[in-house]
Structure 1
Amino acid sequence: MSDPDKSQLTETEIRTRYITPALSTAGWPLTSLREEYYYFSAGRIQVVGKKGVRKKPKKVDYLLEWRPNLPIAVVEAKDNNHEPGDGMQQAIEYAEQLDVPSVFTSNGDSFVWHDRTGSRPDVEVEIPLDAFPSPDDLYALYKQWKGIEDADEPVIAGQFHDDGSGRRPRYYQRIAVNRTLEAIAKGQRRLLLVMATGTGKTYTAAQIIWRFMESFRAINPGKGQARVLFLADRNILIDQTMMNDFAMFKGRMAKLSASRGTISKVANAEDPDGGGSKVVDKSFELYLSLYQAVTGTEEIDNVYKQFSPDFFDLIIVDECHRGSAREDSAWRGILEYFGSATQLGMTATPKETKTVSNIDYFGDPLYTYSLKQGIDDGFLAPYKVIRTALDVDTFGWRPEEGQVDDAGNLIPDRHYTEEDIDDSIVFPERDKRVAERITEYLKSADRYAKVIVFCQDIPHANRMRRILANLNADEVRKDSRYVMQITGDDQQGKQELDNFIDPEMPYPVIATTSKLLATGVDAQTCKLIVLNSRVESMTDFKQMIGRGARVRTDYDKWFFVIMDFKNVTKLFADEGFDGDPVKVYELPPDGHMSDAIDELDDVDETASEGEDDEGPEQWVERPGARNVRRKRIVVSGQAVTIIGEQVQMLGTDGKPLTSSLKEFVRSGLLERYPTADDFVSAWLAADQRSALLDELVDAGIPLEDLAEQSGLALDPFDMALDVAYERQPIERRQRAAAVHANGYLGKYQGQMRSVLEALLGKYVESGVRSVEDIAVLRVEPFRSMGGPMELIRLFGTREAYFKAVHDLEQQLYQEAQ
């Protein structure tokens, strides 16, 4: 019979008095019980106007670990007013996401056990409190579920590296590492991990290498140390990796590099440029290298052949969607030469095209952690999409009879479409319209927000740099690096790449590029991605979008904006955007497989040499070729107009809203508040309007975003009345003026009145949230009046200050009361 007192206990008390003791009695030490496991997620970020607000993070009540970072069961608790099995569906969802097989729920009376292993007669069974399975029992089920044999234990039993900082791998990093080691233990030799940009692939790779090396010593005591090769395709990736995520291997790793006429040289973290030796030092355990550094067109450049084919035990290929994906690439030759090694490909965008397949070589992904999952968990930044339509792109263009281009040549008479623009024909006025829209956005948001402008090719990036510099002349005069072209042919631009991706460095702010910044560049504080080039490859699209996906709340980077001038973001609707890759093999029309090579793999920007691109003859990038000169039609003076713009938001399901934001908000409000009186009553009754606005955001009703999009200085209150209930809105300045006019502030004197007047000013400037946020007291004009605590003490107590703020807000909405 149930304890009659249990019904009065909270869920926390049920856990403390009944569930934890039951787990302890079953043999679970307290060190194995991760109670209220908040590391599950960071809490999804909702975009609220120009700010980001985190939702509550997901958590499980108990995560049961066999050893650190190897969970094997979850337990969800409820108070005793629930049935023992209540919450099971949520618990199963968590278990699936956390990759554990055993799921339990309890209300303090008993447990309900859901077994995902398929090894028990019943999927779900109720068991007494004193019958909870032991750690050995659940680990045996885990091994059976994973197909782990006793002989595999030494490989999977290793511990994650602990640097002493308390950092633990995120749940998806832990799954990626564990699944990789489990696959290696089973004898798999070609492995693939798919992890979205910004989710820590190099940290995951470092932990895999650490665990692999530790287990290798355990199972091969006579063979000595494991040898690992880490391959990447950008020098900056190697250098960053050695200094950051791979710092745990200091003294045990070396960087391979090569130059024509010299066989090789090896560098370590203390001497990254190396000593120039002509023979590879083979005493290190971990070698990091560019593909380009160990292969070349001449045999002397193939440094990797100084190693015997069986030298390496593990090879990790970073960004494996690049050259190694092609069967006939020189880079693939490295992998085939070391064919006996276990080989792991890592990418955010597995390449599956008609000619290129990661899956064909590495196999199906062991684990996929997508952009959508990362955003939902709050580890990656959400995004807004601003689609801007230009008339020449939308309707195309046809020259007038006898019309000539800038070089005086007759323009061929045909209909030029969006595909021709910036490829065979250039409209300087179009470039100017795009640059004006970018500049307008920055001036309304943040002039120092890092921006990447993706252009059609290098000459296009050059044109955009020049126009943006002219439109932002005030900032360029302060520092010429405000706008920089960062492409493979521009040495100055490439030298500024480190500064662009460094959050501490203010310049460059705007980077125009073609493809150099699309992959592997960790631009953590990039807030604006501009798509001003045709993108038909899903791989390219994901890579470009990934440049903005980092979250850096310490630099006020909560979300990013995608400004799309080429309708590239239609790819968000493609079923392959966040789905699993599917192998596709199909000969192109000419029947030559080698001709259908994805351009991203073959264009080597780092080797391009730019020339003056004035006039109709310009350097352009072409697959498999460098510095190809071709004719372009340049038509100056052709008027180009922005004919429409659409702003898309992410809905509560993580997908861009398909209906207009106005209709989306309207339907949400009417469902929640059927009448205007219902909404007004809820607004006036709220202790804090910001809390109500957060609640509406959680419900998928982003009022502040709609108010911002409207272009009017409206309070969310008025935005709601206007869009849902057809009431005439009042602008914020009018509401503030009414408070001044009604004499309400006369009840306060001296600095108290000055504080409230300044709060009204902040309300007019940025809305009701700023009035309620105590942090506003740290900025001007409050800073000149005194410190936050000093200003609060003017009102007597903290509670009295907030009451005065609340009363001031009530005055703002006096006509609605």
Structure 2
Amino acid sequence: MARNEDQTRRDLIDPALAARGWGSDLIRVETTVGGSDIIGGRPRRRKGRTDYLLCLPAPDGGSPLPIAIIEAKKEEEGDALGLQQAQDYRRRFHVPFVFASNGHLYTEWGEDTRHIASHLPLAQFPTPDELRQRYEALRGISLSSPAAAPLLKTYKGGESSRWYFQDAAVRAALEAMATGQDRVLLTLPTGAGKTNIASQLLWKLATGGQLRRALFVCDRDELRTQAWSRLHGFFGDGAQIVTSSNPQANARVLVASYQTLNVDSDGEPQFWRENYPPDYFSHIIIDECHRSAWGKWSVVLRDNPNAVHIGLTATPRTIVGGHAGEPGRERDEQITAHNLRYFGEPVYEYSLVQGQEDGYLAASEVIRRTVDLDATAITRDDIVERSAKDYYTGRTIQPGDIDDQYDARRYEQALQLPDRVDAMCEDLFAMLLETGGPHQKAAIFCVRDTHATEVTLALNNIYEEWCKSTGQKPAEPYAFQCTGNPNLRPSAAELIPDFRGSKASHFVAVTVDLLSTGVDVPDLGNVVFFQYLNSPIEFYQRVGRGTRTGTPQGSKLLFRVYDYTNVTRLFGQPFEAREKPEDAGQPPAPDHDDPGTPGAGPTMIRVEGFDVEVQGAGRSIVVQRGGREALIPLEDYEAEIAAAVQDVVGDLDGLREVWADPQRRGDLFGAMEGGGASLRMLRQMRDQDDCDLYDVVAELTFKAPAKTRALRVAAFEAQEKPWLTSLAPDIKNTVLAMALEFGRGGIDELETATLFDTPAVRNAGGFRALNRHPEGAEAVLTGLKKRLLR
């Protein structure tokens, strides 16, 4: 009988690698989070893995250097089958060589040859010395040189202190520096741990003898504090926050905002020039460099021409979405061009969708809503026949002070519409009630400060009415304004910690752009757009507030984007699986700070008396298509998954057979876009968290009614009595105990390494009991799975 993949690895590949000098210390199996399930109120991670990550040895107990991926397949497969999968891993893991093997032969591809060589004997697999020579020639680096020393230094806290893509980003940056590159750009999404990457990067530079003094620059005090907290864990008192009264000139790592450095204002940057002479720093890290390094504060870079300049950004370097010529789109294009011109191409990129598929970032569901009033302009006559007042004074507005018409880009900028605010807030509150209740963390992005005030008031009134009608005790505050208004009390700085940490209040933050970058709220479940945007960069920054995976980490699988202004078009060109009408009547999307027409009447006209209706425009999810994020309607995504499943399993009986086999089920996941992570996301979106993923797939693909795990256990106990009666008492009791474990967490509970250590299973007889069955423990367990899935 041909060996399966695990047996091929153990019996054929492992010995062959060892014979070629690849000891266990040079072979790493990297795991990814792979999504999480919530079992008994606690998250349980599901890990993906690479087969083999080959590393070069490091001297003096340093960190082995990853350089190659091997993707193993079972013995009866062709040796080249895994190469495509390995190529995908190559980019994510930042290694130059990839291999695939069936245990007898291997296929290889390298960045040096850029040629596929297949059907090579595994006994001739390259040795570590051979791959090192190829690596050094390709990269132009001698690993024994001082310039390469940081590459081989250990991480602060060990290898477990970083995720695989963070390691890849650090290595890519250090490789570039080792070749003399002094401008380095890293592009990773919000929530991917860019500050940890920066901290580990500086740590390796320091332990490698190349860090003299570093400056970490950000653009707000909140971000400065967050960065210092991480860096202080690495450098202790060697990392210090710069304040206007203390330049911390003797610190090893300085953390500063542009405002504190006095480099973002007009005139001579006196504080900067008095405290930091030219070339004072050996390394400068620009956080959120999408904000561009070519404004007034570029003096920081100009005064340190011999330092290594490192840019971190969460926004895409390729601008998609919006319309050519729009101000926001043009500004993004300029910033992107500046970044690429200054730093060069990113040395490493990791996408939002990849982070979601790996399970490090929460997936996003897009719920699109349309406001009928936004599809047509409001005219002077419309306003005159209604109650029109000056927003600030309450005086009556004369017709001559009113423009001919106002379109949606000027709503809440020049025209305040309380009926529209109420309708949108009522609709959003109804959506929250449908998706788990009002006590969810949400951030609403508004047009301007006055708009945020009106939305806050409206939401609190709606919430209070709901509390009265349901007999609930109101949370205080429920919705709160969180903007940069200096007269706001409590201030945003005082409110953000409660928004982040409180479980009993501060549920809805209503902002303009204060929360758009850097504010870490892991449990944020909803990002809401009442704000029109043209800028993909600004849009991505706002969406990024929802990507973190909760507290504890992994407890949040999904966040929702509520789109009332068609901003989600900025994810990229929408993918439409079938012909659909275009978004008719959608107004042009201005930036949030569009002031309207200068000098056109009073600052703000308040108009009441409009009938406003909000309607659904479909649910979508974000996927990776053509190398960028794209929006796809939920029903189309479900149809694609169903088609992929049917191609593999054929019918419901085939699905049951595949599902009971962990390896075949894994192969089935591999045939789906997003794999098992996509199914777990769909399960939550379909309100089927009490079901095993089998039922999600069976219903999607074969229209089989979904059953909860508890219902399947009850049906098993009732319908399988003849089989159970045929078993010895201790085997029967063990099987029943294992069935209850299925009820607790699904099919995966029957495949954990600790299944036979659970008290109920162990006390019933456990593995020893099952092993006494004539067909063995594995056969009994497989039979149990299939019967549970009937």
What TM bracket, shorter-length normalisation? 0.7 to 0.9
Q: Deviations over 1:609-636 (max 9, x none)?
A: xxxxxxxxxxx8869x9xx995212111
Is contact 2:155–2:203 with CA below 8 Å preserved after alignment?
A: no
Which residue of structure 1 aligns with residue 733 of structure 2? Answer: none
Which string of whole-angstrom CA distances, capped at 9 and with x for unpartnered residues, describes residues 551-584 of structure 1? 13636311100000000001122499xxxxxxxx
Alignment of 1:420-439 (within 5 A): 420-439=410-429
- CA gap 1:161/1:517 in 2 versus in 1, 3 angstroms: farther
Aligned to 2:432: 442
Q: Percent identity?
A: 26
Residue of structure 1 in register with 2:586 after alignment: none
1:468 aligns with 2:459: yes
Bigger drift between 200-209 and 163-172 goes to 163-172
1:693-723 Cα deviation digits (max 9, x unpaired) = 9979974698998899899999999999999
One-letter identity of the residue aligned with 1:60: D
Give the CA deviation at 1:432: 0.9
The corresponding residue for 2:731 is none
Residue 285, structure 1, aligned to residue 257, structure 2: no
Secondary structure at 1:554 match in 2: coil
Cα distance change of structure 1 residues 82 and 74 upon mapping to structure 2, 3 Å threshold: same
In structure 2, C-alpha distance between the alignment counterparts of 1:635 and 1:722, rounded to whole Å: 49
Q: Choose 699-708 or 509-518, whichever is displaced more.
A: 699-708
Q: d(CA) in 2 for partners of 1:629 and 1:795?
A: 83
**Alpha-carbon shift at residue 493 of structure 1 (Å):** 3.9
Q: What TM-score does the superposition give when structure 1 sets the normalisation length?
A: 0.71
1:69/1:246 CA distance change after superposition, 3 Å: farther
Assess, with a 3 A threshold, how the Cα gap between structure 1 residues 808 and 447 changes in structure 2: closer, same or farther: farther
TM-aligned CA deviation for residue 371 of structure 1 = 1.2
Cα pair 2:227 2:255 within 8 Å, conserved = no
Matches of 1:106 and 1:306, distance apart in 2: 59
Q: Partner residue of 2:30? A: 38
Structure 2 vs 1, CA of residues 227 and 673 (structure 1 numbering), >3 Å: closer, same or farther? Answer: closer
Matched ranges for 1:226-245 at <5 A: 226-245=212-231
Q: Given that residues 574 and 631 in structure 2 are in contact (C-alpha distance below 8 angstroms), is that contact kept between their aligned partners in structure 1?
A: no
**Deviation at 1:198?**
0.7
Alpha-carbon distance in 2 for matches of 1:705, 1:104: 32
Tell me if 1:181 matches 2:174. Answer: yes
Output the amino acid matched with 1:512: V
Following superposition, the deviation at residue 498 of structure 1 comes to: 3.9
1:774 aligned to which of 726, 737, 744: 744
Q: Is the 8 A contact 2:83 2:108 kept in 1?
A: no
Matched residue, 2:535: 537
> In the alignment, which residue of structure 2 is the partner of 1:528?
526
C-alpha separation between the residues in 2 aligned to 1:240 and 1:666?
Answer: 43
Deviations 1:439-476 (A, max 9, x none): 22222314332110000011111111111111112679
Residue 88 and residue 316 in structure 1: after superposition, are their counterparts in 2 closer, same or farther (change >3 A)? same
Partner residue of 1:26 out of 20, 28, 33: 20
Query: What is the distance in 1 between the residues matched to 2:157 and 2:271?
Result: 40
Partners in 1 of 2:615 and 2:79 — Cα distance?
A: 59
In the TM superposition, residue 771 of structure 1 has moved relative to its aligned partner by 11
- CA distance in structure 2 between the aligned counterparts of 1:124 and 1:806, rounded to whole angstroms: 42
Is 1:72 the counterpart of 2:53? The answer is no
Does the CA contact (< 8 Å) of 2:360 and 2:549 recur in 1? Answer: yes
1:648 to 620, 634, 640: 620
Aligned to 2:286: 317
RMSD between superposed Cα atoms in Å: 4.9
Aligned match of 1:409 in 397, 409, 417? 397
CA-to-partner distance for each residue in 1:16-49, whole Å, 9 max, x for gaps? 3443333333333321111xx233x32257999x
Distance 1:371 1:650 in 2: 9
Once the two structures are superposed, the pairs formed by residues 57-68 of structure 1 within 5 Å of their partners are 57-67=48-58, 68=63
Q: Which residue of 1 aligns with 2:275?
A: 306
Deviation by residue 1:372-420 (Cα, 9 ceiling, x = unmatched): 2212322111100000001101233334484254322245363432212
Partner of 2:557: 558
- Structure 1, unmatched stretches of 5+, are 1-6, 218-224, 259-263, 267-280, 577-597, 601-619, 748-768, 777-787
Mapped contact 1:77–1:106 kept (Cα < 8 A): yes
Compared CA separation, residues 645 and 410, structure 1 to 2 (3 A) = farther
Q: CA deviation at 1:422?
A: 1.6
TM-score by length of 2: 0.73
CA drift of 1:226 comes to 0.3
Match for 1:392 among 332, 351, 373?
373
1:46, 1:382 within 8 Å by CA — same for their partners in 2?
no
Whether 1:338 and 2:320 are equivalent positions in the alignment is: no
Q: Deviations over 1:140-188 (max 9, x none)?
A: 1111111225785434444455444652432222222122222222222
Aligned to 2:86: 91
Do 2:26 and 2:64's aligned partners in 1 also have CA atoms closer than 8 Å?
no
Single out whichever of 651-660 and 93-102 deviates more from structure 2: 651-660
SS of 2:167's equivalent in the other structure is helix
Kindly provide the amino acid, as one letter, of the partner of residue 184 in structure 1: M
CA distance in 1, matches of 2:128, 2:786: 57
Contact 2:378 2:406 in 1 (8 A): yes
Whether the 8 Å CA contact 2:283–2:308 is kept in 1: the answer is yes
Shift of 1:314: 0.9
- Match for 1:175: what amino acid? A
AA in 1 matched with 2:367: I
Structure 1 pair 414–337 and aligned structure 2 pair: CA distance change class (3 A): same
Structure 1 pair 368–501 and aligned structure 2 pair: CA distance change class (3 A): farther
Please name the residue that 1:632 is paired with.
Answer: 604
- Cα 1:380–1:72 change in 2 (3 A) is same
Select between 367-376 and 229-238 the one with higher mean Cα deviation. 367-376
**Which whole-Å CA distance do the structure 2 matches of 1:660 and 1:134 have between them?**
49
Q: Determine whether 1:378 maps to 2:359.
A: yes
In structure 2, distance between residues paired with 1:185 and 1:706? 45
SS of equivalent to 2:204 = helix
Aligned ranges 1:185-200 → 2 under 5 Å = 185-200=178-193
Instruction: Please report how far the alpha carbon of residue 139 of structure 1 lies from its aligned counterpart in structure 2 after TM superposition.
Output: 1.0
Q: Is the Cα contact below 8 Å between 1:499 and 1:505 reproduced in 2?
A: no
Distance 1:709 1:87, change over 3 A: closer
Q: Secondary structure at the match of 2:246?
A: strand
Secondary structure of the structure 2 residue equivalent to 1:481: coil
CA distance in 1, matches of 2:110, 2:157: 36
Partner deviation per Cα, 1:507-548 (whole Å, 9 max, x = no partner): 321000001000111121111000110111111011011111
- Matched residue, 1:570: 569
Amino acid at match of 1:16: R
**1:482 aligned onto 2:472:** no
- Residues 291-345 of structure 1: CA deviation (Å, up to 9, x unaligned): 10011546474234322102111111111122x43x3x22112221222322111
How big is the shift at 1:682? 6.1
Partner-residue secondary structure (3-state), 1:480: coil
**SS of equivalent residue, structure 1 residue 191:** strand
Contact 2:368 2:562 in 1 (8 A): yes
Q: Distance in 1 between matches of 2:463 and 2:383?
A: 37
Number of residues of Structure 1 aligned to a counterpart in Structure 2: 683
Q: Find the residue that maps to 2:181 and give its secondary structure.
A: coil
CA distance in 2, matches of 1:75, 1:714: 37
**Contact 1:75–1:103, Cα closer than 8 Å, also in 2:** yes
Letter of the structure 1 residue corresponding to residue 252 of structure 2: E
d(CA) in 1 for partners of 2:131, 2:695 = 57
Distance 1:541 1:512, change over 3 A: same
Equivalent position SS for 1:535 = coil
CA distance in 1, matches of 2:654, 2:14: 44
Please report how far the alpha carbon of residue 131 of structure 1 lies from its aligned counterpart in structure 2 after TM superposition: 3.0
Contact 2:532 2:591 in 1 (8 A): no
1:96-107 pair list within 5 angstroms = 96-107=91-102
Q: Partner of 1:197: helix, strand, or coil?
A: coil
- Given the alignment, which residue of 461, 485, 493 partners 1:495? 493
Cα distance, 1:349 vs structure 2:
2.0
Could you tell me how far apart the structure 2 residues matched to 1:105 and 1:807 are?
33
- The answer (yes or no) to whether the contact 2:69–2:86 under 8 Å persists in 1 is yes
Counterpart of 2:340, as a letter, is I
